[in-house]
């Protein structure tokens, strides 16, 4: 789940497709506004060059950028729209690409932050991993610690060592220290195609 302050709502499993549609519509609107404002500024430069009979294609980049800046100042409203669409467009497209990456990776911004916390704990040697067999004694583990009804099924069990009580480790299971995040199953990652399909047509909860 991701909290987005710009839409005053949380983005989760059931509304990710609406958020992606919002981003797509924003990108289209900003791109169209950038195209229209650029065309108007371009026509302003062409009109300014008519008395001198100089083609805009023959201008050097320095002269062209100078005239472009003059056009933005002269056509202040159009220039403001151009700058607004250009600057916010970069953020909007970058935000879209980032969220597409999160879907591809099978995670969210919230979980990405948690992964960074896990990385620090793994570096400190505080995370233990076990792959319990059917005959292992797991009665000490709370039921909520077992993975139930997740997108993927995993048998992995994890235990974070309490720095104040390192001897309090559940018995009856063979534990080993986790060396890196690659050893951990991401139970939300179904593969990139299934991730995108699940984002567009989410499963019923």
Percent of the chain with pLDDT over 90: 20
Residues 6 or more apart in contact with residue 146 via CB below 8 angstroms: 138, 157
- Is the Cβ–Cβ distance between 73 and 161 less than 8 Å? no
Residue 162 located in a structural domain: yes
Residue ranges making up the domain that contains 93: 2-105
Using pLDDT thresholds of 50, 70 and 90, give the confidence band for residue 2.
low
Length of the chain: 205
Query: How does the average pLDDT of the chain come out, rounded?
Result: 79
Q: Are residues 44 and 91 in the same domain?
A: yes
- Give the pLDDT confidence score for residue 167 in this predicted structure: 62
Q: Find the mean pLDDT for residues 34-50.
A: 91
Residues 6 or more apart in contact with residue 99 via CB below 8 angstroms: 19, 20, 23
Domain boundary among 44, 72, 105: 105
Residue 96 located in a structural domain: yes
Q: Find the mean pLDDT for residues 10-21.
A: 80
pLDDT at 114 over 70: yes
pLDDT in tens, 57-96: 888 888 888 888 989 988 899 999 999 999 999 999 999 9
Q: Are residues 100 and 129 in the same domain?
A: no
Residue 13 located in a structural domain: yes
Nearest of 193, 27, 28 to residue 95 by alpha carbon:
27
pTM for the structure as a whole: 0.69
More confident residue, 190 or 168: 190
Residue 194 located in a structural domain: no
Q: Find the mean pLDDT for residues 157-166.
A: 71
- Give the pLDDT confidence score for residue 64 in this predicted structure: 87
pLDDT in tens, 191-200: 778 888 878 8
What pairs with residue 157 in β-bridges? 130
Using pLDDT thresholds of 50, 70 and 90, give the confidence band for residue 106.
confident
Residue 161 located in a structural domain: yes
Residue 112 located in a structural domain: no
Q: Are residues 69 and 136 in the same domain?
A: no
* Count of Cβ atoms closer than 10 Å to residue 23 Cβ: 17
- Give the pLDDT confidence score for residue 135 in this predicted structure: 45
Scan for tokens 């609406």, then name that residue: 18
C-alpha dist (Å) from residue 99 to 40, 86, 104, 109, 195: 33, 20, 9, 8, 12
* Number of compact structural domains in the chain: 2
More confident residue, 186 or 76: 76
Residue 114 located in a structural domain: no
Q: Are residues 177 and 147 in the same domain?
A: yes
Q: Are residues 62 and 133 in the same domain?
A: no
Residue 25 located in a structural domain: yes
pLDDT in tens, 118-147: 888 888 877 888 876 644 454 444 444 444
Percent of the chain with pLDDT over 70: 80
More confident residue, 39 or 189: 39
Q: Find the mean pLDDT for residues 149-166.
A: 69
Tokens representing 55 are: 């083609």
């Amino acid at each position: 789940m991701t909290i987005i302050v710009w839409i005053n709502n949380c983005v989760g499993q059931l509304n990710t497709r609406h958020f992606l549609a919002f981003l797509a519509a924003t990108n289209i609107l900003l791109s169209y506004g950038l195209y229209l404002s650029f065309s108007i500024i371009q026509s302003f430069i062409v009109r300014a060059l008519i008395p001198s009979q100089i083609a805009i294609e023959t201008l050097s980049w320095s002269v062209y950028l100078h005239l472009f800046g003059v056009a933005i100042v002269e056509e202040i409203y159009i220039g403001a729209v151009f700058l607004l669409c250009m600057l916010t467009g970069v953020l909007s497209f970058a935000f879209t690409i980032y969220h597409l990456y999160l879907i591809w990776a099978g995670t969210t911004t919230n979980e990405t932050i948690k992964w960074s916390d896990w990385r620090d704990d793994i570096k400190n040697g505080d995370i233990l991993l076990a792959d319990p067999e059917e005959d292992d004694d797991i009665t000490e583990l709370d039921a909520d610690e077992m993975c139930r009804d997740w997108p993927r099924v995993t048998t992995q069990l994890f235990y974070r060592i309490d720095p104040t009580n390192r001897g309090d480790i559940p018995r009856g299971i063979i534990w080993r220290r986790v060396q890196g995040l690659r050893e951990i199953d991401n139970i939300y990652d179904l593969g990139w195609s299934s991730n995108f399909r699940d984002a567009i047509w989410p499963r019923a909860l």
